[in-house]
């Protein structure tokens, strides 16, 4: 089957072919995953180096199915040979949960007699059961039930009217759903009951705003115009823009995956990153009352940033001249779900790129910047995450994540104390403290695969004031600590030293600075994991124990919480970053390495976050350091450039 690029996601036809091949051997299965099994790095590198002459890597589908009785099948299907080339029935593992599976739960919950009984206790008569809703989450892990049975916990809500925000009316009990039996097997009921509150709704839709005085009327039009189209070009899924070139992939789990990222440095294409993607996140909630310890979603590993991705709308999710890429995803029954406009690609003005005025003669240069944005937005039940990969003309890559949507809420009785574990953001609505911790996987390729990581701290000189080397006490420098082993590389953020990490090619020194060609990881929103060492979350989310881990590159080591995340206990570090770091002795110096960066924010909810949160942005930067000869963007045409002699009327103004 012809394909443009070996890293292109599986097409609809390829998904269907993989399903048919599996079905020929395994009937009556539900399809959880049918995804591109990415070519091995060695094979891929060869193809990238000699595209026309080397063999195109085979198209292989990575498949995961659930068979009757909850058996989980994992396999690989060679699409050219139309053959299963690997197949394993795995035990005690629960694959990613799909939105279709989640949607089944609400119906079961509404008709379950014990749930109806609990609703009545909460003050909901049977006639109102159609107003009961739930957000089913994977159970996370619950020691009472283990990992063999596929379970979901139903976070319960009431919606007085169809258009009301249900998160304003949380219920206090939590049914547990068995996905194989399609029934409720248990209900967690708190000791102290919190009956349903019936406060007037606080809504954000148009009718609600109009009822409260209407929308503001003082916004004048702000138009974006690109009469000649955008400055990027797409060839299949490979993009070129302002010296950058890379491939834009997409999968059910990580969403956008950027590969083979390089920069044309004055005619010489230099490799920078082999693969960049967000690979996991965990959202632990901080209320100690049972069963809230189970509320810690791994939104990528348990639900999938691809599976939950939005279909983007022009003028809403993105403005200007947009190119979209669609996504093809498998459904449970083996059919293909088409997501139109899953990724948007566009440029935006980005303020000033650089400026200087000479105060003595009024000579000036002002150059405006442009940025390229590759965006997706996914909805993880209540929350929205907008993921923007932003490329800058100065060689910087920025990952910006905007968090919006609706808080996860729980009920609070009239006069009840939240004990500091949450905030009553509206009457009867307790929004628990939580963290959003994202894991960025950086497969670096800075001027080649062999790279080394240094931790960089801004520190004062070790020499005391008055000593010969620091007579006036003002000396400070960038202290660089080489991270030689996977053990040493487990490092944390230090705000006091403005800590950063340099991904370096020590084999290539800058002619002027004599420092290695590198990209610096600059990330300033890096809270530590607040659930304690030994806690359930700490055990399950090894990647969140430190801001940085570094491992030696190995094919298939992509997802740090493991391949199958729902219902892992974390009791062993098998299959995931904990295992890959190993005993800490492996050398990562001048090797093909991967840096795993966990960053995020701690969210103490406030009334301003309710009923819908204004987007909160977070940024990680990857900045060139000692990589380019000088500022690589000096050839971006300036808006204004007048030299001293031109100001004095002695020189001619050059054409811009
Ligand atoms: N945030 C947890 C989650 C995501 C998607 C669907 C249900 C729950
Ligand atoms: Cu939050």
Task: From 161, 396, 409, select the one nearest 295 (Cα to Cα).
Answer: 409
pLDDT tens column, 25-46: 999 999 999 999 999 999 999 9
Place of tokens 């995953």: 33
- Would you state the pLDDT for residue 467? 98
- Listing DSSP states for 563-613 in one string gives SS-TT---SS--SSHHHHHTTS--B-TTEEEEEEEEEEEEE---GGG-SSE
DSSP H or E run through 307: none
Q: Which two tokens stand for residue 308?
A: 């939950």
Residues 6 or more apart from 557 whose CB is under 8 A from it? 551, 580, 594
Active site residues: 299, 383
The predicted pLDDT at position 652 comes to 62
Nearest CA to ligand 1 atom 8: 137
Structure tokens at 511: 């002619």
DSSP letter assigned to residue 398:
E
Give the separation between CA 254 and CA 126, rounded to whole angstroms: 41
Residue keyed to tokens 């974006």: 224
Q: Which of 151, 285, 299, 384 to mutate to test the pocket of ligand 1 (most atoms within 8 A of CB)?
A: 299
Alpha-carbon distance 611 to 70, whole Å?
38
Q: Which atom of ligand 1 has the smallest separation from the CA of 379?
A: 5
Of 440, 576, 466, 464, the closest CA to residue 519 belongs to 440
- pLDDT of 656: 52
Long-range CB contact pairs, 357-362, < 8 A, 24+: 358/644, 361/644, 361/647, 361/648, 362/642, 362/647
What are the pLDDT digits (tens) for 337-384?
999 999 999 999 999 999 999 999 999 999 999 999 999 999 999 999
Q: What is the pLDDT of residue 23?
A: 98
Q: In what order do the strands lie in the sheet with 410-411?
A: 410-411, 429-432, 422-426
What is the DSSP-derived secondary structure letter of residue 470?
Answer: B
The number of the ligand 1 atom at minimal distance from the alpha carbon of 99 is: 6
Give the number of other CB atoms < 10 A from CB of residue 417: 9
Cβ-proximal residues to 490 (8 Å cutoff; 6+ apart), any chain: 545, 546, 548, 549, 581, 584
Atom of ligand 1 minimally distant from the CA of 308 = 5
What pLDDT, on a 0 to 100 scale, did the predictor assign at position 1?
46
Distance 102 CA to ligand 1 centre (A): 9
Q: Which residues touch 144 (CB under 8 Å, ≥6 apart)?
A: 186
Q: Kindly state the helix (H) or strand (E) to which residue 14 belongs, with its residue range.
A: helix 12-25
What CA–CA distance (Å, rounded) separates 344 from 239?
A: 13
Interval between CA 210 and ligand 1 midpoint (Å):
31
User: What is the whole-number distance in angstroms between the Cα of residue 138 and the centre of ligand 2?
Assistant: 19
Question: Hey, which of 283, 303, 436, 537 would you mutate to test ligand 1's pocket, going by the most ligand atoms within 8 Å of its Cβ?
Answer: 303
Tokens of 496: 């006091």
Structure tokens at 192: 């102290």
Atom in ligand 1 nearest the alpha carbon of residue 136: 7
Distant-in-sequence, close-in-space partners of 574: CB < 8 Å, separation ≥ 6: 562
Mutate to test the pocket of ligand 1, among 100, 106, 285, 297 (most ligand atoms within 8 A of CB): 297
Q: Which residue has the tokens 């090619």?
A: 505
Separation of alpha carbons 503 and 516, rounded Å: 9
Decide the pairing of beta strands 500-509 and 516-523. antiparallel
Q: Counting Cβ atoms within 10 Å, is residue 213 exposed (0-12), middle (13-18) or buried (19+)?
A: exposed
Tokens of 105: 């739960």
pLDDT along the chain (656 residues), means of 10: 82 98 97 98 95 91 95 97 98 94 94 98 97 97 96 98 98 97 97 95 97 97 95 98 98 98 98 98 97 97 98 95 98 98 98 98 97 98 98 98 98 96 98 98 98 98 98 98 98 98 98 98 98 97 98 97 96 89 97 98 98 98 98 98 93 57
pTM given for the model: 0.97
The rounded Å distance from CA 214 to ligand 2 centre is: 28
Closest CA to 557 of 572, 540, 577, 582: 577
Residue with tokens 């029935």: 89
CB 233: neighbour CB atoms within 10 A? Answer: 12
Which two three-digit tokens encode residue 237?
Answer: 């899924």
Question: Residues 6 or more apart from 84 whose CB is under 8 A from it?
Answer: 21, 22, 25, 75, 76, 77, 78
102 close to ligand 1 (CB < 6 Angstrom): yes
Among 106, 154, 438, 133, CA closest to 305: 438
């Amino acid at each position: 089957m012809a394909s443009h690029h070996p890293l292109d996601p599986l097409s609809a036809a390829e998904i269907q072919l993989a399903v048919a091949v599996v079905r020929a051997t395994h009937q009556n299965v539900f399809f959880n995953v049918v995804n591109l099994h990415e070519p091995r790095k060695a094979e891929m590198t060869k193809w990238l180096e000699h595209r026309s002459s080397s063999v195109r890597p085979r198209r292989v589908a990575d498949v995961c199915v659930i068979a009757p009785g909850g058996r989980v099948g994992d396999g690989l299907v060679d699409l050219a040979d139309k053959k299963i080339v690997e197949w394993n029935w795995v035990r005690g593992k629960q694959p990613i949960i799909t939105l279709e599976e989640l949607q089944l739960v609400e119906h079961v919950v509404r008709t379950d007699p014990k749930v109806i009984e609990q609703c009545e206790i909460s003050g909901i008569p049977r006639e109102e059961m159609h107003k009961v809703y739930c957000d089913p989450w994977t159970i996370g892990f619950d020691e009472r039930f283990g990992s063999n049975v596929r379970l979901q916990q139903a976070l319960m809500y009431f919606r007085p009217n169809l258009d009301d925000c249900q998160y304003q009316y949380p219920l206090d009990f939590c049914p547990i759903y068995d996905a194989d039996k399609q029934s409720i097997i248990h209900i967690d009921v708190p000791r102290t009951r919190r009956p349903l509150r019936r406060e007037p709704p606080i809504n954000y839709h148009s009718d609600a705003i109009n009822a409260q005085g209407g929308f503001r009327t003082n916004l004048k039009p702000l138009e974006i115009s690109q009469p000649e189209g955008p400055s990027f070009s797409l060839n299949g899924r490979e993009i070129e823009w302002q010296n950058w070139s890379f491939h834009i992939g997409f999968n059910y789990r990580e969403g956008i995956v950027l590969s083979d990222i390089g920069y044309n440095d004055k005619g010489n294409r230099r490799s920078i990153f082999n693969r960049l993607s967000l690979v996991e996140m965990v959202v632990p909630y901080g209320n100690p009352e049972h069963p809230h310890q189970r509320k810690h979603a791994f939104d990528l590993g348990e639900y999938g940033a691809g599976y939950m991705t939005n279909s983007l709308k022009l003028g809403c999710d993105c403005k200007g001249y947009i190119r979209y890429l669609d996504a093809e995803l498998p459904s449970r029954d083996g059919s293909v779900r088409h997501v139109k406009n899953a990724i948007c690609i566009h440029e935006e003005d980005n303020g000033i790129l650089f400026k200087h005025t000479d105060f003595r003669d009024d000579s000036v240069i002002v150059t405006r910047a442009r940025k390229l944005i590759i965006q997706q937005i996914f909805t993880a039940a209540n929350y929205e995450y907008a993921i923007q990969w932003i490329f800058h003309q100065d060689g910087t890559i920025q990952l910006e994540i905007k968090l919006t949507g609706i808080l996860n809420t729980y009920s609070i009785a009239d006069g009840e104390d939240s004990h500091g574990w949450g905030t009553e953001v509206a009457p009867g609505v307790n929004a628990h403290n939580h963290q959003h911790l994202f894991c960025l996987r950086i497969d670096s390729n800075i001027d080649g695969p062999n790279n080394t990581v240094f931790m960089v701290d801004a520190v004062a000189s070790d020499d005391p004031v008055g000593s010969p080397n620091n007579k006036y006490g003002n000396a400070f420098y960038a202290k660089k600590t080489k991270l030689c082993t996977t053990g040493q590389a487990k490092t944390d953020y230090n705000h006091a030293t403005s800590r950063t990490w340099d991904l370096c090619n020590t084999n290539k020194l800058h002619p002027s600075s004599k420092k290695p060609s590198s990209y610096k990881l600059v990330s300033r929103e890096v809270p530590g994991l607040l659930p304690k060492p030994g806690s359930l979350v700490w055990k399950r989310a090894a990647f969140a124990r430190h801001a940085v881990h570094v491992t030696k590159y190995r094919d298939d080591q992509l997802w740090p919480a493991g391949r199958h995340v729902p219902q892992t206990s974390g009791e062993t570090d098998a299959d995931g970053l904990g295992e890959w770091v190993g005993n800490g002795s492996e050398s990562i110096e001048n090797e093909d390495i991967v840096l795993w960066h966990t960053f995020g924010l701690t969210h103490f909810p406030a009334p301003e976050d309710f009923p819908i949160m204004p987007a909160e942005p977070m940024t990680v930067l990857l900045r060139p350091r000692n990589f380019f000869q000088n500022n690589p963007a000096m050839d971006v045409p300036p808006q204004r450039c007048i030299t001293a002699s031109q100001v004095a009327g002695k020189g001619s103004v050059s054409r811009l």
